[in-house]
Amino acid sequence: MHHSVIKPNSWVALKLPSGVTRVIQVTPNTSISLGKYGTFPANLILERPYYLTFEVQDKLPEDSFSRLRVVPPSELYADVFAEEDAECANPAAGPGSNNDAVIATAEGEEFSLVDAESGNVIARSTQEVIDENARQKLTQAEIEELKRDGTNAGKDVIAKLLLSHAALDQKTSFSLSKYKLLKTKKYIRRFQVLPIDVPTFSNWQLEERDASKILDIRAEMMGLVGCWGNVHYGGEDVFLEDPKATTEQGEEALAPLQEDLLAGRWLVVDDTGGLLVAAMAERMGVLYKEDDETDEAAEEEEEETEQKDTERADGQQQETTSDTTSLARHPKRPRDNKSRDSDFAVPFSQTNTITVLHGASQPNLSFLNYWNFDVTAPQHPPHPLLNHLLTLSWLQLLKPELDTSYSTPPLTADPETLSIWKPSRRGNFHRKRRRYARVRHIVDSTRAGNFSGLVCASTMDPISILKHALPLLAGGAPVAIYSPSLEPLATLADCFSVARRTAWNSGHVAEIQGKTAEELEKWEGSEQFPLNPTLLLGTSIQTSRARKWQVLPGRTHPLMTERGGADGFIFTGWRAKPAEGKIAAKGKFKRRKVEETVSTPASA
Amino acid sequence: MTGTMTRPTVSPFLEPGLHTKPRSLAILQLSRDNLLPIYLQEASGEHDGYAEGAVVNTRYGSFPHSTMLNVPWGSQIRASKVDTGSRGRKRKRGPKDDASRDDAEENQPETTDNNNATEATRVKQAVADDSGFIHVLPPTPELWTQSLPHRTQVVYTPDYSYILHRIRARPGSTIIEAGAGSGSFTHASVRAVYNGYPSSAEDRKGKVFSFEYHEERYHKMKKELTDHNLDGLVHLTHRDVYNGGFLIDGTSPEADAIFLDLPKPWEALPHLSRRKPQTEAKEGEEWVSPLNPKRAVHMCTFSPCIEQVTRTVSAMRRLGWVDIDMVEIANRKLHTIRDRVGLHYQTDRGVNVSPHDVEEALDRLAEIEERVREQAARPRNGEDGAEDADTVMKNGDVAVKKDDDKASAAEQPPYQTPWVDGRLITKGEPEIKTHTSYLVFAVLPREWTEEDEAAAFAKYPCGKEKAVVGSMDKQTRKKERREQLQKIGDRKARRKERAEKIAEAVE
């Protein structure tokens, strides 16, 4: 689960010297091409640790492929070390004086040419603007040729480029290192493999793909939403007992809802394509499959996925086989939800769950594919999200009677009829009954409320979300709503303003007179009071931004440019359980005036 | 719920349940940013001179614990009428105290056989006050960070939320934290790594290994952890990590992530290596790494000064840490207010009685002018014209106002509801934190030896590559697309065939 080594068929991010990230699935026995940075067999990074920097080496005459070399950190930082050492050699002691703290550095090959020189270059006071094209004596054709024939993972190219730079000795040491960095980024054939976890993935999506798809949610905001939403592991899994319903039994055989078992459940509205759900699942420990098992287990899994792939390949086979037969073929598959379950067995845990409310008829959680979870797959290989992710539409939540899959009573059939049916019809029969039980459980348990928190990153109006979601929260449950822009959150915060709360509590609002506490909890909203202002406490809006710095000897400063665009804001608060009846604050501040003005619209 | 039943020691930070419980931490929200952590006590007789048992006195009223117990979290609690005045006098009376306790309970028969029961019945029922209320909230690291007793500088939510996200603190991880300080990061990190309490010593669950150098702080922290039922999840050690390192009784905590809030992180860094650092004096003895040998380790150091950062980063590079990245977090809180500008408002706090647009200004000016002209047209009594014009001006002003008031009172007043009036605006806090600390992030990959490489190469031999992933040339991409389309076509054809068959069968 914690990315110890690169597993077959997992998604990884390859960080290239140019700063570009490539996200690919590492399939065994394929080649991975990095364009100008070279091509290598995927098998060479399988079962290797993450975060290492590899160098694509030149093809050996006896090999048909390029081998990889792990670049030691001493080589990665050779330039900085050389600078620090030069600084140390000067009488003015620099910060690099803790050389003795080094783990024996295996001396790697370096661009001897430049390093020897970098100390000698005299810093010039007048910096001339060096026009690169004018000073570079190699022609483009020559460079192309070098790139083609160049060996030593691109280092030769860089060295030759530097050597043939006419103004090399006119450069200051700073501009020299800058020039070298520029060329290194372009030609060195190195890459680093990062695991696809939520921080890496969202960074990639934000910086290199379509940021608007994830509502421009930056790592800072993701962290804040998770913390203010108090999203964490919600307790050990608890499963309802299988009601052992026979095929003749209808809805009366459904497992009854046990409200006291429900705990550690979070309500989510996610319009980031599943990224928010992934972030929450990561915090709750249900995003990654356990891969700490023995190698054998891993191999088994591999076999299974292979089997699945062949199944996929002939789609017809999969579509026609009934569920029961497919269960028989994969006795191992329902490891998590016992193999002999009846149709009405609830596959979901009662604790540690994420309930996703979606506006379309199907939730859009496509990004979960990067964690090998496909919400649309009918038969899914084991994944922790299967038992912990519940999805329902707003219609199913608010008007379940209008939803066909909820309100249509389940099919029933006696075993004899069933046995003479075609396998496909039988499969459909079971599938429908299972879906019915699942939808029933999801809708009923969601409507039972008492959620541990609400987390949102949605394009919908937050007021309309809270109107229906607030009554479902347990007392004291946190609310954390992300929005790329401030305005929707400001309007929302205004619904809970002190003036509104005071007026509401003063007992002068005509609309709420004579309403019970329960009715007020489900307040439908009026023009003046879109939400019951007493249902949320300590509402506040905030934003965070991380400013990146460059840390180099003598050149430490914030980065000159960073991503702009949407800032991102979060709204936070806690669900309150207001006391019944009129309630007044203590204190000298007399709110006479307010009360008077409140009474006016009441009488009018 | 059953979880909390079987394990009554689960921290209220992790599984608070639905209701407040006795002997458990609760956070009282007195006002917006005024939070008070308290441990709720069951009333078992008089406490500290109060007949109602333990009482919290605030400027928003008095709140006996009994009114806050076994209520849903988030409940609004009314203040109670508590006798705070006679408390001092009563206490001085000492033994007689019991006899003169409460008029209401005089009639109750005294049972002498069960002392506890007697005490319990003696607890005065709290009587609700006319005004004043607070809310009782379940503890979370965020609320705790806002309300905890300060011992050192606190790592606030904007920083720790980002740090925990970046150092990949997840359920099941092991975290080393050096410089426990006030404990805000400890609470946040234990929530992040929590995946259940270990059932035995061998049971490996998410855990925080915390180190504190300062003895007094260590003891306070220790007590806090016990009070919060976090003992099985946080291992607190009193140690100077610069010299003592991070091992627990000589064994490795196998950390996956590290957070260093120390003045000199570079002095602690050598201990956090995979192999024995050269500086270690003790020769011969076996050196144990405190890191998880199977995973890449993520680290964050928290330093306020740039000089600390330079030295830390330099030391990290020499020790083989990669992906070194330094950031600082700027957090802003925003308040929303109704900005009310306009002549039609009554003078009130936060109202700016001046024209809210050019039209309003224009109307008013025109009106004044008209009045001045009217006034001027009237026959004068006095001789001095100039002085008169001035007074006229003033009078006119007043007249306009009066008129406005009347007019608006007559029609439907649009400004009687301060919560919808004016323009909704946002404003920053009056004071902002511009710098907390610099955060340096780094990753130490797993060790990878020649043997490991040979084993992996044997398991996944190369040379049988079937396809190319990643950037493909145009032709290959086209070919793949063609094949894909072909497959879909086949499937459609088969589906059609099947549908026909079914139709036949039905007939």
Q: For the domain bounded by B143-328, which CATH number is listed?
A: 3.40.50.150
Distance CA A168, CA A130 (A): 10
Instruction: Enumerate residue ranges in chain A where pLDDT < 50.
Output: 1, 91-132, 292-338, 591-604
Q: Hunting for tokens 């822009």 — which residue is that? A: A485
**pLDDT by residue (tens digit) across B63-105?**
999 899 999 999 999 998 887 766 655 544 444 444 444 433 4
Question: DSSP character for A459?
Answer: S
Q: Are the beta carbons of A356 and A363 closer than 8 angstroms?
A: yes
Chain B residue with Cα closest to A528: B420
Q: What is the DSSP letter of A169?
A: G
Q: What is the pLDDT of residue A375?
A: 87
Positions of E strands within A426-535: 453-457, 478-483
Single-letter residue type at A559? L
Give the model's pLDDT for residue B440: 97
What residue has token string 């020559």?
A142
Ramachandran assignment for B224, one of left (phi > 0), alpha (psi -120 to 50 degrees), beta (any other): alpha
More confident position, B317 or B350: B317
The answer to whether A280 and A269 are in contact (CB under 8 A) is no
Over chain B, what is the mean pLDDT? Answer: 82
Percent of residues, chain B, with pLDDT higher than 70: 80
Angle between helices B385-410 and B358-377 (to 10 degrees): 130
Helices (H), A248-333: 275-284, 295-313, 315-320, 323-329
Pairing of strands B234-238, B34-39: unpaired
Contact A261, B2 (CB under 8 A): yes
Q: What CA–CA distance (Å, rounded) separates A470 from B11?
A: 25
- Neighbouring C-beta atoms of residue B437, cutoff 10 Å: 18
Closest C-alpha among A13, A17, A15 to residue A155: A17
| Yes or no: domain B17-138 corresponds to CATH 3.10.330.20 | yes
Question: What's the pLDDT score for residue A171?
Answer: 64
User: What long-range pairs does A54-57 form, CB within 8 A, spacing at least 24?
Assistant: A54/A190, A54/A191, A54/A192, A54/A193, A55/A153, A55/A188, A55/A189, A55/A190, A56/A153, A56/A189, A56/A190, A56/A191, A57/A153
CB-nearest partner of A70 from B2, B448, B498 = B448
- In whole angstroms, what is the distance from residue A402 CA to residue A361 CA? 13
What's the pLDDT at A603?
Answer: 34
Q: Do B469 and A48 touch (CB under 8 A)?
A: no
Number of Cβ within a 10 Å radius of residue A588: 4
The confidence score (pLDDT) of residue A150 equals: 59
Residue B464 dihedral angles phi and psi, to the nearest 5°: -110, 30
Closest partner CB to B161 (pick from A73, A224, A549): A224
DSSP helix/strand/coil, A445 = helix
pLDDT of residue A6: 92
A601 touches B420 (CB < 8 A): no
A contacts of B16 (beta carbons < 8 Å): 476
pLDDT recorded at residue A464:
95
Longest dimension (CA), chain A: 96
Q: Is the pLDDT of residue B291 over 50?
A: yes
| pLDDT recorded at residue A170 | 64
Q: What is the DSSP string of B175-191?
A: EEEE--TTSHHHHHHHH
pLDDT, residue B144, reads 95
Write out chain B residues lying below 8 Å of A236, CB-based: 3, 196
The encoded tokens of residue B120 equal: 């319990």
Coil, helix or strand for B454? helix
Q: Residue A101 and residue B172: Cβ atoms within 8 Å?
A: no
Phi, psi of A140 (to 5 degrees): -60, -40
Contacts of range B235-241, beta carbons closer than 8 Å, 24 or more positions apart: B235/B207, B235/B208, B235/B209, B235/B210, B236/B180, B236/B210, B236/B211, B236/B212, B237/B209, B237/B210, B237/B211, B237/B212, B238/B211, B238/B212, B238/B213, B239/B211, B239/B212, B239/B213, B240/B213, B241/B178, B241/B211, B241/B213, B241/B268, B241/B271
Return residues 350-409 of A near B (CB < 8 Å): 351
CA angle B364, B367, B373 (to 5 degrees): 145
pLDDT confidence of residue A166: 62
Averaged pLDDT, B405-428: 67
Backbone phi, psi, residue A540, to 5° = -160, 155
Q: Compare CB distances from B306 to A27, A556, A578 and report the shortest one's residue.
A: A556
Q: What is the Cα Rg of chain A in Å? A: 31
Assign B281 a pLDDT band (cuts: 50, 70, 90). low
Q: Tell me the nearest-neighbour CA distance from B350 into chain A, angstroms.
A: 12
- For chain A, give every domain's residue range: 1-196, 231-451, 455-603
The bridge status of strand B297-303 relative to strand B438-444 is antiparallel
Q: Residue A329's CB: how many other CB atoms inside 10 A?
A: 11
Q: What are the b/e assignments for B464-501, b being 16+ CB within 10 Å?
A: ebeeebbeeeeeeeeeeeeeeeeeeeeeeebeeeeeee
Phi, psi of A371 (to 5 degrees): -110, 25
**Burial class (CB within 10 angstroms; exposed 0-12, middle 13-18, buried 19+) of A1:** middle
Separation between Cα atoms, residue B187 and residue B192, nearest integer Å = 9
B470, two tokens: 């990643």
Which of A57-71, B256-270, B361-375, B448-462 shows the lowest mean pLDDT across its residues?
A57-71
B352: part of which helix (H) or strand (E)? strand B351-352
Give the pairing type, strands A536-550 and A569-575: antiparallel
User: What is residue A123's DSSP assignment?
Assistant: P
Tokens of A59: 């093809």
- Residue B424, min C-alpha distance to chain A (Å): 7
Contact A221, B330 (CB under 8 A): no
**Testing the interface with B: which of A241, A302, A574 to mutate, by most B Cβ within 10 A?**
A574
Which of B146, B74, B78, B139 lies closest to A537 in space, CA to CA?
B74
Domain ranges of chain B: 17-138, 143-328, 357-425, 467-507
Residue of A nearest to B294 (CA): A4
Distance CA A527, CA B403 (A): 30
Per CB-CB distance under 8 Å, the chain A contacts of B324 are 551
The pair of three-digit structure tokens given for residue B488, joined into one six-digit string: 């879909």
**Is the Cβ–Cβ distance between B428 and B334 less than 8 Å?**
yes
